[in-house]
Chain A
Amino acid sequence: MQRIEKMGVWEKLYFPEVLRGLWVTGFRFWRNLFIHTLHLLGLANSLQAAMTVQYPEQRIPYPETFRGRHRLTLKDDGSIRCTACFLCATACPAECIYIQAGEYPDNPVEKFPLRYEIDTLRCIYCGFCVEACPCDAIRMDTGTHPGNLGFSRKDFVEDKTILTERSEELEAKGKEKLYEEYVSRYRRV
């Protein structure tokens, strides 16, 4: 693109440029319309029409690295992996993690969290807790984005039960199904 110091007749006439502009937009309009029609007929699915994604009916899958909602991982025997070492709560820039540690009656070595709460209204999904965890107990690989349906602040506090159940669900259903279930609530709205 170059600077036009002095407008020539072409620019001053104005209408030729209007027609040129209409040609650009018109070309894209008809092209997109044509490809969308082909898509409806189930043809030419590799061609891309308009860039717009009709969310939530359609979606583009989240990448593998996507930092989604948290989950607390479980050991092989189904017990919680977290040892309540407070590193995630320390590393958290938003101070949204609350942990209350408890001790196993029969195990003097390890502790576990009596309460583990993430206030998702404060959470900024930076992933520092995942990086800080020394025993792979918290992950953000659920592939679902933070929710925004709720009527009180309590609805947004994710406690230990929710976080561990998410792990079980992810294992049972897989990422795709979890996402589909999660987003179906938004489709009904």
Chain B
Amino acid sequence: MSTQTPDLPVETMDLQMGPSHPATHGTIKFNLKLEGEKVLDCEVEVGYLHRGFDKMCEQATWNQVIPYTDRLNYVSPLINNFGYALAVENLLGVETPPRCQFIRVAMSELSRIMDHLTCLGMAASELGAITAGFYMIEARELLMRIIEAVTGARLTISYARIGGVKHDLPPDFSDWVADAFRKTRRLLADCERLLSRNRIFIDRMSGIGVVSREMAVAYGLTGPILRSTGVNYDVRKAQPYLVYDQMDFEVPLGTKGDNYDRFICRILEIEQSMRIVEQALEKMPLGPIALDDPKIVLPEKEKVYNSIEGLMNHFKFIMEGIQVPAGEVYFAVEGGNGELGFYIVSQGGGRPYRVRVRPPCFIAMSAFHEMIRGHMIADIIPTFGMINMIGGECDR
């Protein structure tokens, strides 16, 4: 039964939503064309958090870029760190020792879990299920404490180095992780009890923000948004980097490509990521955590304090930086939101000539008008939430 009179004249209205409401995931502006409460068209304005990452990198030495990459996707900074380091290592033509690779895999997956938990928790709380949001943030806090203990900071971790990682994992790392995962699984089970058969949640998510398989591929969407449409593309499987080819995990796929599918894809990915971390910890070999090459990695402090060669290497390394040969490279890792690529050009010397990031959520935002067209204003919030736009990554 419709209460609307069909011949009632409706005027379209332009509405500027933002900058900065859509439940404040990041500062963004939607220029909406509305008919009543229905969105006829939506134009997205991004760029409010632009800090000139690309330009800043040109002023910095290769290692000094690492703190900048922390601030790209600040919900999962470790993946950015490792992605950048891997790209530069590719350009240098070196491969890090096995232990370092396992550490990187374990830490990336911890970071990915945190990314998904934040995204899902916030998306749930925006739909009124704030308790589920709190439970997920609690799980995130458990993992955050581990990350803090390993890297020395909660958010601005700067853990990766070109050719290795900053320092080794603490001895009882695996116990912490086992404990945190036990609690996380319990919290996620509680969240499932709250959400999985919740009518409001299903009504708000199902059938909203649909992207077809063809459209997703055409726009170049990656990550959970692409996989929710049923396209099996995960950088970890498609172009395995680090030691992902030794890990046993599945790529959860959706069927319809709506918000509900994205939510479920992410929830299932959390479980897969936990499996990867557990396997990585089981298989982790002993050995060095960084390359033994004074041109790429800082020499050990023992050598610096006690030998003139060590001291000279140290000074050369800091004053001139790593000498990366001329060339260009594109290297992609699977970030929390999709394919996070680094395109790096070097002209030789201690500083990058150009660093360009392929941010997954910037590309997802370019398809946002397709997702939201024909839906209601209130549907913007869950759709935007499930894209998980991170201002730092999108606007750089």
- Interface of A with B (CB < 8 Å)? 1-4, 7, 10-12, 14, 17, 20-21, 24-25, 28, 51, 60, 62-67, 85, 87, 90-91, 93-94, 124-128, 131-132, 134-136
- Does B148 have its Cβ within 8 Å of any Cβ on chain A? yes
Contact of A125 among B64, B153, B298 (CB under 8 A): B153
The reply to whether B318 and A17 form a contact with Cβ atoms under 8 Å apart is: no
Contact of A91 among B64, B199, B260, B311 (CB under 8 A): B64
| Closest-CB distance, B38 to chain A (whole angstroms) | 24
Residues of B within 8 A of A60 (CB): 145
Complex formed: what's the CA distance from A85 to B311 in Å? 12
**Given the known A-B contacts A20-B193, A63-B148, A136-B301, are A4 and B311 also in contact in the complex, defined by CB atoms under 8 Å?**
no
The reply to whether A136 and B195 form a contact with Cβ atoms under 8 Å apart is: no
The reply to whether A17 and B152 form a contact with Cβ atoms under 8 Å apart is: no
**Given the known A-B contacts A51-B138, A136-B301, are A90 and B202 also in contact in the complex, defined by CB atoms under 8 Å?**
no
> Closest residue of chain A to B271, judged by CB?
A1
The reply to whether B199 and A7 form a contact with Cβ atoms under 8 Å apart is: yes
**Given the known A-B contacts A14-B199, A21-B198, A93-B64, are A3 and B255 also in contact in the complex, defined by CB atoms under 8 Å?**
yes
- Does B235 have its Cβ within 8 Å of any Cβ on chain A? no
Stretch in B92-100, B215-223, B261-269, B326-334 with 4+ CB within 8 Å of A: B261-269
- Does B141 have its Cβ within 8 Å of any Cβ on chain A? yes
- Does B149 have its Cβ within 8 Å of any Cβ on chain A? yes
- Does B23 have its Cβ within 8 Å of any Cβ on chain A? no
By CB atoms of chain B within 10 A, which of A64, A67, A94 has the most?
A67
Residues of A within 8 A of B64 (CB): 91, 93, 128
Interface residues on B, range: 35 or more
**Given the known A-B contacts A24-B190, A127-B158, A134-B304, are A11 and B298 also in contact in the complex, defined by CB atoms under 8 Å?**
no
The reply to whether A2 and B153 form a contact with Cβ atoms under 8 Å apart is: no
**Given the known A-B contacts A17-B197, A66-B148, A136-B301, are A93 and B202 also in contact in the complex, defined by CB atoms under 8 Å?**
no
Contacting A at CB under 8 A, from B118-157, are 131, 138, 141-142, 145, 148-153, 156
By CB atoms of chain A within 10 A, which of B150, B190, B318 has the most?
B318
- What are the interface flags for B97-122 relative to A under an 8 Å C-beta threshold, 1 for contact and 0 otherwise? 00000000000000000000000000
Residues of A within 8 A of B381 (CB): none
Complex formed: what's the CA distance from A127 to B152 in Å? 9
- Sorted nearest first, the 10 A-B pairs with minimum C-beta distance are A63-B149, A65-B152, A93-B64, A126-B67, A67-B152, A126-B158, A51-B138, A1-B267, A87-B318, A14-B199
> Closest residue of chain A to B200, judged by CB?
A14
Complex formed: what's the CA distance from A136 to B314 in Å? 13
Contact of B199 among A12, A63, A66 (CB under 8 A): A12
Residues of A within 8 A of B190 (CB): 24, 28
Selected A-B contacts with CB under 8 Å, 18 pairs: A7-B202, A12-B199, A17-B199, A20-B193, A21-B193, A28-B190, A65-B150, A65-B152, A65-B167, A67-B153, A85-B315, A87-B314, A125-B156, A128-B158, A131-B166, A131-B298, A132-B318, A135-B305
Residues of B within 8 A of A136 (CB): 301, 305
| Closest-CB distance, A5 to chain B (whole angstroms) | 9
Complex formed: what's the CA distance from A136 to B301 in Å? 9
Residues of A within 8 A of B268 (CB): 1
Interface of A is mostly: loop
Residues of B within 8 A of A28 (CB): 190
The reply to whether B198 and A17 form a contact with Cβ atoms under 8 Å apart is: yes
The reply to whether B202 and A4 form a contact with Cβ atoms under 8 Å apart is: yes
**Given the known A-B contacts A3-B264, A7-B202, A131-B298, are A87 and B153 also in contact in the complex, defined by CB atoms under 8 Å?**
no
> Closest residue of chain B to A21, judged by CB?
B194
Q: How many A-B residue pairs have CB under 8 A?
A: 102
Residues of A within 8 A of B153 (CB): 66-67, 125
> Closest residue of chain A to B194, judged by CB?
A21
The reply to whether B67 and A93 form a contact with Cβ atoms under 8 Å apart is: yes
Contacting A at CB under 8 A, from B185-203, are 190, 192-199, 202
Contact of B318 among A3, A63, A91 (CB under 8 A): A91
| Closest-CB distance, B108 to chain A (whole angstroms) | 19
Contact of A25 among B60, B131, B151, B167 (CB under 8 A): B131
By CB atoms of chain B within 10 A, which of A10, A12, A127 has the most?
A127
The reply to whether B198 and A93 form a contact with Cβ atoms under 8 Å apart is: no
- What are the interface flags for B213-244 relative to A under an 8 Å C-beta threshold, 1 for contact and 0 otherwise? 00000000000000000000000000000000
> Closest residue of chain B to A12, judged by CB?
B199
By CB atoms of chain B within 10 A, which of A3, A10, A14 has the most?
A3
**Given the known A-B contacts A65-B167, A93-B68, are A3 and B199 also in contact in the complex, defined by CB atoms under 8 Å?**
no
| Closest-CB distance, A120 to chain B (whole angstroms) | 14
The reply to whether B158 and A4 form a contact with Cβ atoms under 8 Å apart is: no
Contact of B196 among A1, A64, A91 (CB under 8 A): A1
The reply to whether A51 and B193 form a contact with Cβ atoms under 8 Å apart is: no
- Does B319 have its Cβ within 8 Å of any Cβ on chain A? yes
Complex formed: what's the CA distance from A20 to B8 in Å? 44
**Given the known A-B contacts A3-B264, A93-B67, are A134 and B311 also in contact in the complex, defined by CB atoms under 8 Å?**
yes
Contact of B197 among A10, A51, A94 (CB under 8 A): A10
**Given the known A-B contacts A11-B197, A17-B197, A24-B193, are A134 and B315 also in contact in the complex, defined by CB atoms under 8 Å?**
yes
Residues of A within 8 A of B148 (CB): 62-63, 66
Complex formed: what's the CA distance from A23 to B169 in Å? 40
Complex formed: what's the CA distance from A12 to B202 in Å? 11
| Closest-CB distance, A19 to chain B (whole angstroms) | 11
